[in-house]
Structure 1
Amino acid sequence: MMKRKAKWTYVILYSLLVLVCFWSMSVGKFYISIPDIVKTLLGYGTRIQATVIYAIRLPRILVAAFVGMALSTSGCILQTVTRNELAEPGIIGINAGSALAVVLLIASGGAFYYEKVSSAAIFFMPFVSIVGALAAGLLIYGLAYKKKKVTPVRLILTGIGVNAGINAIITVYQLNMSKGDYNQALTWINGSLWGTNWSYVYFLAPLTLLFLFLSLYKSRILDVLALGDELAAGLGVCVERERRILLVYAVCLAAVATSVAGNISFLGLLGPHIAKKICGLVHSRQIPVAAGISAIIIVASDMASRNLFSPLELPVGIAISILGVPYFIYLIMRVKE
């Protein structure tokens, strides 16, 4: 019965994701009807329809979907490893590490965010972002490591502290930037899908799918770790080793997502929590459901941010924060009860 329910959940959820993607491809300054989108995808559309879909809208939608999947999976892992339902990459400092690395790159005059450059150059900022996220993750783990182990409470508190410290450093660098560099850094830090293209899809998709499947492979370990360190150790799990491995997965997922879309907070919080209400705490079901939910949220939010304030474009990270902050407050109030 549970397997049948899970199967129907996947079918409904990912069908909804496809519908939202088609809707996002349809709306904009140049409207394209759903039948025309289908014709264009089958190779029978007009030249301008093909250009709008293949060169502009489709790669952006795919990047958004994979970013949502990566951040939600990272959130699932972090919430289990830290045993804190408020944990997510944007709160414990991983995204801040990426942001600091990119701000340092922009401040050095080596950024090319708005320029047409070679494919090798396109991947330079994501590479710097990933290095920043990994460095922040290593710093958090190192500071939380005590007496040959890392406790969940110490890990989450250390992450919050590191996040605050990194954001303070970012603010100092922003105050010393030129107006152009400041606007560039601010757009990236707030989370933006502007300027994405197929090169980012080719970079993001395989890495996201790789770590998503690795996380699913560890789903039973996550189920056991959710029971507590002592019980997990009693069941034969090497708790500290598995925690390190899972933290690497979480950091890498957050890093690849942040590297192409900037600092998007709360997406790793919303998807996992909604998934828990739909399918329970079993990670083999929770992770793919959370991935689909977060993908829907970010694709819909990006569609809204592109069109509601046209010709201005609201960074997608701000649109998601508008949804995430009230839910975060609700969770805090519930925990206090």
Structure 2
Amino acid sequence: MKRRFLPLMLVLTALLLGMTLAGMGLGTSSFSFDRMVPVLLGQGTFEENFILFNLRLPRIVVTILAGAALAVAGAVLQGLTKNDLADPGIIGINAGAGAAVAVYFLFMPLDPGNFVYVLPVIAFSGALLTAVLIYAASWDRRTGLEPVRFILTGVGFSLALSGLMIVLISGGDRMKVDFIAQWLAGSIWGTDWPFVLALAPWLLLLVPFTLYAARQLNLLYLDTGVAVGTGVAVGRTQVTLLVTAVALAAAAVSVTGGIAFVGLMAPHIARSLTGVDHRRMIPAAMLIGALLLVTADTIGRNTPAPEGVPAGVVVSLIGAPYFVYLLLKRT
């Protein structure tokens, strides 16, 4: 596995770069691929520069960052719960973020000047509150975190919060309701450079910390007793890593909408390629998650429909059968 890691990362990076170029060239406005390099070097026309630098490139960067963040969040949750079915979208964390965004968008005054930067904090608050409640309901004083109870409680919270959001938007303003409906469908709406600036700091701070804590996550994933024996403060480490996963997932979905299954598929695929060592699995999962979301968004916005198909729907069309496959594989 160690010898294959570098070639694997190079292959995944090449695939991501290839899909990024495809995403930059494909769209409703024609953009010739042979003009890509000249435009990137500053030799494009006004129309070419506008299409690439104002419309497509920021959207692609947002999807890359969000896909990577969701993949890391999923990897951490799967490591903590020792369950390959854990995913921020399935166990209620995304729903908690969505409920907070819905409340903020429907009932709070919106300031265009700081809206972009406040939204990830609002989403994080809702997701963190949801995660705390799920964690509390899943905690056993004798055995600690109960993974199965954690997953089932999270699914219950996800359903309940989804119902709450439907109730909230049922009597809301039409424009705001349309936005929240698109958010729930996983429509990439944060497509300008300010959204990149709002999302990037969360990854720059939390991804290095996650990689630093990968050894402790390895021990927790293998056996809690071994982790205790090697000096890991299990309770504190679980809470810290859980908050990290929540923050990454909330920051991602605040600008991409309710994207599910990326955090499920990317870590699982990466684990099958690199093994269970999170020090190698997490970097691979980041590239796979970014590749999945960029691919889904590129397919969705080039689908012949009035406004394309939301990336979240495209991911779900792939992720739902994959989830069933994993479920059947475990039984």
2:133 to 128, 131, 139: 139
Q: What SS does the aligned partner of 2:145 have?
A: coil
Q: 2: CA distance between counterparts of 1:171 and 1:14?
A: 39
- Once the 2 structures are TM-superposed, how far is the Cα of residue 160 of structure 1 from its aligned partner? 2.0
Letter of the structure 2 residue corresponding to residue 222 of structure 1: L
Contact kept, 8 Å, 1:111 with 1:125, in 2: the verdict is no
3-state secondary structure, aligned to 2:105: helix
Q: Distance in 2 between matches of 1:206 and 1:38?
A: 28
2:222 partner SS: coil
Over the residues paired in the alignment, what is the CA RMSD in angstroms? 1.7
Matches within 5 A, 1:97-108: 97-108=96-107
Give, in angstroms, the shift of residue 3 of structure 1.
3.6
Q: Is the 8 A contact 2:24 2:57 kept in 1?
A: yes
Rounded Cα–Cα distance in structure 2 between residues aligned with 1:147 and 1:209: 35
Matched, 1:23 2:22: yes
Q: CA deviation at 1:111?
A: 5.2
Deviations 1:243-298 (A, max 9, x none): 11111111111111011111101010110111111111111111111111111111
Question: Secondary structure in 2 aligned to 1:123?
Answer: helix
Residue 46 of structure 2 corresponds to 47
Q: Any gaps of 5 or more consecutive residues in structure 2?
A: none
Letter in 2 for 1:123: Y
Structure 1 position 124, deviation (Å): 3.0
Deviation string 1:201-243 (CA, Å, 9 cap, x unpaired) is 0111121132111111111111111112122212322211111
Superposition deviation, residue 32 in structure 1: 1.9
Native 8 Å contact 1:78 1:247 kept in 2:
yes
User: Stretches of 4+ moved more than 4 A in 1?
Assistant: none
- Secondary structure of 1:19's match? helix
Amino acid at match of 1:219: A
Counterpart code for 1:126: P
The AA in structure 1 aligned to 2:135 is Y
Q: Is residue 322 of structure 1 aligned with residue 331 of structure 2?
A: no
Counterpart for residue 305 of structure 1 = 300
Instruction: State the distance in 2 between where 1:282 and 1:146 align.
Output: 27
- 1:280 aligned partner, one-letter code: G
Task: Give deviations 1:174-194, integer Å, cap 9, x for gaps.
Answer: 322343332221101111213
Alignment of 1:150-169 (within 5 A): 150-169=145-164
Is 2:98 the counterpart of 1:122?
A: no
Secondary structure at the counterpart of residue 89 of structure 2? coil
Secondary structure of the residue aligned to 1:226 is helix
What does the per-residue CA deviation read over 1:50-81, in whole Å, with 9 as the maximum and x for residues that have no partner? Answer: 11111110000000000000000000010110
Deviations 1:159-186 (A, max 9, x none): 2222222122112223223433322211
What residue identity is the alignment partner of 1:328?
Answer: F
2:228 to 225, 233, 247: 233
Q: Note if contact 1:90-1:263 (Cα within 8 Å) is conserved in structure 2.
A: yes
Shift, 1:157, TM fit: 2.6
Return the offset for 1:107: 2.8
Deviation of the 1:310 alpha carbon? 4.3
State the 1:42 CA deviation.
1.2
User: Does 2:85 align with 1:86?
Assistant: yes
The answer for the alignment partner of 1:6 in structure 2 is 5
1:43 Cα deviation from its structure 2 partner: 1.2
State the one-letter code of the partner of 2:182. Answer: T
> Does structure 1 retain, via aligned residues, the 8 Å contact 2:190–2:255?
no
Q: Secondary structure of 1:259's partner?
A: helix
What is the identity, as a one-letter code, of the residue corresponding to 2:123? Answer: S
* Amino acid across the alignment from 2:27: G
Q: Matches of 1:15 and 1:295 in 2, distance apart?
A: 12
Deviation, structure 1 residue 6: 0.7
Q: Percent identity?
A: 38
Per-residue CA deviations over 1:289-312 (Å, capped at 9, x if unaligned) read: 111111111111101111112442
Counterpart CA distance in 1 for 2:305 and 2:25 is: 15
CA drift at 1:199: 0.3
Moved more, 128-137 or 259-268: 128-137
SS at match of 1:32: coil
Q: Is the 8 A contact 1:266 1:320 kept in 2?
A: yes
Alignment partners' CA distance in 2, 1:176 and 1:111: 19
CA distance in 2, matches of 1:335, 1:81: 18
SS of the residue corresponding to residue 75 of structure 1 reads: helix
Paired AA for residue 103 in structure 2? L
Map 1:208-223 → 2, pairs under 5 A: 208-223=203-218
- Asked if 1:73 corresponds to 2:72, the answer is yes
CA spacing shift, 1:40–1:310, aligned 2, 3 Å:
farther
- Is 2:97–2:122's contact at 8 Å kept on the other side of the alignment? yes
* Residue-pair matches, total: 330
- Measured after TM superposition, the shift of residue 109 of structure 1 is 6.1
